[in-house]
Amino acid sequence: MSKLVTIFGGSGFVGRYIARRMAKEGWRVRVAVRRPNEALFVRPYGVVGQVEPILANLRDDASVRAAIHGADAVVNCVGILAESGKNRFDAVQAEGAGRVARIAREEGAAHLVQISAIGADAESDSRYAASKAKGEEAVLAAFPSAVILRPSIIFGPEDQFFNRFAAMSRLGPILPVVGAATRFQPVYVDDVAQAAVMGVLGQAKPGIYELGGPEVASFRQLMQRMLAVVRRRRLIVNTPFWIARIMGAVFDGLQAVSLGLFQNGLLTRDQVRNLARDNVVGEGRMGFDTLGITPVAMGAVLDDYLWPYRSGGQYAEIKESARNLKQD
Q: Of the candidates 75, 79, 50, 55, which has an alpha carbon nearest to the alpha carbon of residue 66?
A: 55
pTM for the complete prediction? 0.94
Residue 116: exposure state from Cβ atoms within 10 A (0-12, 13-18, ≥19): buried
Q: Are 171 and 235 in contact (CB under 8 A)?
A: no
Q: Are 186 and 178 in contact (CB under 8 A)?
A: no
CATH number of 4-155+186-215+278-298: 3.40.50.720
Task: Give the SS3 label for residue 55.
Answer: strand
Q: Are 10 and 18 in contact (CB under 8 A)?
A: yes
Report pLDDT for 317: 62
Report pLDDT for 316: 60
Q: Of the candidates 120, 118, 81, which has an alpha carbon nearest to the alpha carbon of residue 267?
A: 81
Domain residue limits, the chain: 4-155+186-215+278-298
Ordered per-residue pLDDT tens for the chain, 328 residues: 699 999 999 999 999 999 999 999 999 999 999 999 999 999 999 999 999 999 999 999 999 999 999 999 999 999 999 888 888 999 999 999 999 999 999 999 999 999 999 999 999 999 999 999 999 999 999 999 999 999 999 999 999 999 999 999 999 999 999 999 999 999 999 999 999 999 999 999 999 999 999 999 999 999 999 999 999 999 999 999 999 999 999 999 999 888 777 888 889 999 999 999 999 999 999 999 999 999 999 999 999 999 999 997 665 665 655 556 555 5
Report pLDDT for 261: 78
